[in-house]
Amino acid sequence: MYSFKEIQTVIPAKDMVDVVLSRTQRRTPTEVHPQFKITRIRSFYMRKVKFCQTTFNEKLQKILDEFPKIDDLHPFYADLCNVLYDRDHYKLALGQVKSVQSTVDSIAKDYVKLLKFGDSPYKCKMLKRAALGRMCTAVKKLSASLQYLEEVRQHLSRLPQINPQTRTLIMTGYPNVGKSSFMNIVTDANVDVQPYAFTTKSIFVGHMDFKYTRWQVLDTPGILDHPLEERNTIEMTAITALAHIPATVLYFVDVSEQCGFTIEQQVSLFHSIKPLFKSKPLLVVLNKTDVKPLDELTEEQKKLIASIKLDEDKALEFLPASCLKREGVDAVKNRACEMLLEQRIERKVAQSSKVDAIKNRVYVTPTQARADRPPCIPQGVRGRQQQDEQETLPDADVDESQMTEKQLMERHGGAGVYSVDTRKNWDLKNEDWKYDNVPEIMDGHNIADFVDPDIDAKLEALEREEEALMWGDADDTEEHQRWMNAKDTLSQIHKKVEQQKFENRLNKNRNHYGTIRRQQKQTPEEVAEHLRVIGNDDVDTEALRSRAVLKRRRSVAGLDEEEQQQPTAVISSSLNVEEAATAEVIKRQKQRRLARDARKGEGDHHIPEKKPKHLFSGKMGFKRDRR
């Protein structure tokens, strides 16, 4: 078995170059200095060239190893690859991959030789750069080949796993003759069945069991009757399976002609592909007999069907079947499997060299029938047998109490009919107790003691009493009336409570937009008091009051907020020279502190990151950069 699903994805040439260069940069040292010895610089760049060449070599060799080689495959798979992918194109693509692999190796070899004689760091670096560039250029030329191989890989992974050596049944014929329906019945496959032709466009595989062995059934695409050169890829797939897989061939003929092809055309197709059936068991299946039975065929159609022969002296087997009613399907399956088993056994016997050697040493003695005479039994033995029979069978007038159990068994029907009575010999105080029912004991108690024989009658009486209480005049009692009155009163109370809650909810202030409390400005008297506290006694209160009235009028008139918040000349003029100087010093100190902390204002409390961990974590060892 070939497992084409294990082939890994073929990445494009551009992606391969990126992967290899990235791996070269990550897996090799990245730091070199001009003051190093020239031998160390040479080895630094030679290592990069060799690593890049090794990585390219591994990538390309993996492609060559995973893809199957046409010459090593089974003839069925070899021809199938030729039909689906073109053998020449496939070999050419793999050959180009092998050629580029050799080119990369030779480039690396040449540049490593040149690097050995590099006399400066710059020259070594340029040689390394040229080597990697030429390798990448060579690999980029594989773009078309790698893309083709990826398409082949995807198609190979979708191919069914067909074992060309196992027991197989192959179905063939015109399109839409019932091959897929037959396969769905006899196997566990689920092939799509449609009323139009060429529903099956590739080989489908199903499995079944016959005589405790596993069989595979192949549903091939339909074949049309035209020359081999004019057949398309779908038809050539079926031809390949018929040509290379040793199996029983089931040739389907649609006798109802619902497939769109007459019986004459189907017979003509059989004769055109008859060479493919050579040395294979062949069975002709007359399908769709539920639509048109074989009795309704014309004489000409019957003659055409009878003309289906491999050789003139060898007749074929014709079996009717109906996949719709499932009539004759099992007979076709069983006969096809038996034909293949017979051929496989004959082939093994013919190919084995031990058969003749064993056959020459085997001799089977024939037996001859002699005179028919009875066996010779001595007279003494015969008399003893008769005596035993007489002792076994008792006389009719003998009492049964005097008979043995064996005699009783013979009198009452023999073994299997007579049932031994084990209670008749029980020695009890009262003979009437022998056939009493044995009590059933559970946990040391007799279950019968806990069973009331009148429980059904008592249950019925209890149910009648409950029904009478339920439908009686209990509603008219005084207690029930009090309960109903209390229930009504409670309901009215609940309604009033709910109504009061609803009214309170509507009247609550939180359900309306609240007025925002604004900060009240100081009155002139408060401003004057504040100025006196800080040491300024000569304050004109009337001027402040007139100023406040003016501001109130301007705010009512709709002046700007900025204009309203401008400092008053009265307050600024009330400060003396010393106080103004002190205020200026305090102001500059505050500004200096803000500037020192680089803050936007008093509300800026942001603390920047003083030591980023991603830049200061770890140790920077030798031959490493900051990456």
Assess contact for 143 and 13: CB atoms under 8 A: yes
The length of the chain, given as a count of residues:
627
Residues 51-101: tens digit of each pLDDT: 999 999 999 999 999 998 888 888 888 888 888 888 889 999 999 999 999
- Amino acid identity of residue 144, one-letter, is A
Listed in sequence order, the DSSP H helices in 116-165 are 121-140, 143-158
Per-residue confidence (pLDDT) for residue 391, from 0 to 100: 64
Q: Higher pLDDT residue, 596 or 580?
A: 580
Phi, psi for 423 (deg, rounded to 5): -95, -10
| Minimum mean pLDDT range among 127-131, 176-180, 352-356 | 352-356
Question: Minimal CA–CA distance to 220: which of 169, 263, 262?
Answer: 169
Selected residue with higher pLDDT from 44 and 517: 44
pLDDT computed for residue 548 by the predictor: 54
| Helices 541-557 and 524-533: angle between axes, nearest 10 degrees | 140
Q: Does position 523 have pLDDT exceeding 90, yes or no?
A: no
* pLDDT for position 521: 67
Mean pLDDT of the residues in the chain: 82
Taking residues 492-510, report their average pLDDT.
85
Question: Percentage of the chain surpassing pLDDT 90?
Answer: 22
pLDDT of residue 561: 47
Q: Confidence band (pLDDT; 50, 70, 90) for 564?
A: very low
Contacts of 489 (CB under 8 A, 6+ apart): none
SS3 state of residue 446? strand
- Rounded-to-integer distance, Cα 334 and Cα 341, Å: 11
pLDDT surpasses 90 at 147: yes
Average pLDDT over residues 333-340: 90
Predicted pLDDT of residue 562: 46
The pTM for the full model equals 0.54
CA atoms 292, 294, 297, 302: torsion sign: positive
DSSP assignment of 220-236 equals PPP--SS-GGG--HHHH
Model pLDDT, residue 47: 94
pLDDT digits (tens, 9 = 90+) for 152-189: 999 888 888 888 888 999 998 888 888 888 888 888 77
Sequence-ordered list of residues with C-beta below 8 angstroms from that of 547, at least 6 positions apart, any chain: 524, 568, 570
**Domains along the sequence of the chain with CATH:** 4-155 (1.20.120.1190), 162-351 (3.40.50.300)
